[in-house]
Structure 1
Amino acid sequence: MTLETFFYWFDHLGVAVFAVSGTLLAFRKNMDGFGVVVLASVTAIGGGTIRDLILDLPVFWAYDATYIYTILVAAFATIVWLRFRDYIHKKTLHIADAVGLSFFTVMGAQKALEAGFPEVVCVVMGTVTACFGGMLRDVLARDIPMVLKGELYATTCLVGASVYVLLAQHTTLVALLVGGLVTLLLRLGAIRWQWSLMVFQDHSDGPR
């Protein structure tokens, strides 16, 4: 298997994981079949679409319909699994989202780096790819986007993408694995221990 082929299927795996994340939220919101497909699709390809438009690159799924099939298969498999469950804990959604972040952070940075953009742009594009699909998902589901909550979210992507860009100068495969792992561990740690970068105190009960 060539490195290019590995990247391709790694990207599909990230799309599948984020499609699962979107389907889980649709389940929690009691959406119909159309709602499931919309949330799964927006979560899976929303960030990558915005990335490609910003970078003036061909939108990846418009030129390769297999990404659409990946979303549909992942959503359908999740629906079948959910048929045997009455409730999904919110933390399950957070964990699925964290796994998707780890995939898309490094793949977004890798695509920008491969296209010849400056390293700082690659880090930003890794973060955009990872965060924006989930943000669109949460907005459509009328939730506060995870990226705007107190726990570390976009920061984990910035760190993971930076690790990828630094290591990619030496070995791309190791950079992919390490960058993704750093993103995943930081996000899971933030979920478990409520790590945050809060700069303001809570004034919700103060004078109005």
Structure 2
Amino acid sequence: MRIVLLGAPGSGKGTQGKLLSEKYNIPQISTGDLLRAAVAANSPLGQQAKAAIDAGALVSDELVTQIVAERLMQADARRGYILDGFPRNLPQAQTLDNILNEQQEPLQAAILLHVDLEILTKRLTGRRACKGCGMIYNIYYSPPKQGSHCDKCHCNELIQRSDDNEETIINRLQVYEEQTAPLINYYTVQDKLHQVDGEQEIEQITQQIINILETISSI
């Protein structure tokens, strides 16, 4: 099972990727984790990525795709994998397709988690984390029972991540619309896109994705 999860920041890709990874016993692969691992391992690709990061530049599409492709060759990905938020743009998607087609193991599905823009903004700007235990809350959807303090630790104050402010969120969503949203048409043309309502309960979203994947695997 070889799939990619698409969706704007805050759409729930990470959560669903983790749940699907556990169910099917296949790795959830995210670009951020891969870059950090490659840099930490000091691999040749990791050294190139570190050089770009240290210089304050973006890691190139080609390098990111190479790092992902290298990861897909590892033993635990032979049965399949879940790409979480990758590819992020058309060049990455096209390069990835070329690599996978050469191996005769193309992607089988792209799952799009659709969430309304207003809800996405509230999900992201409303996030609060406990400084002590890391418990996550949302002041709009799942606020703590004790006001501004953690229900679990009771005494630790909740904080907002620096990148969860409204200006940063709006910019992240604009970048998504410009770079990642075109992938919707790309995978639609390939007849691989499946849209799921990301505003449902987590369990309902997971089950809907499972239903889609079971249909694909039976073809």
Larger gyration radius, structure 1 or structure 2: 2
Structure with greater helix share of residues: 1
Q: TM-score, normalized by length of structure 1? A: 0.30
Structure with greater strand share of residues: 2
Q: TM-score, normalized by length of structure 2? A: 0.29
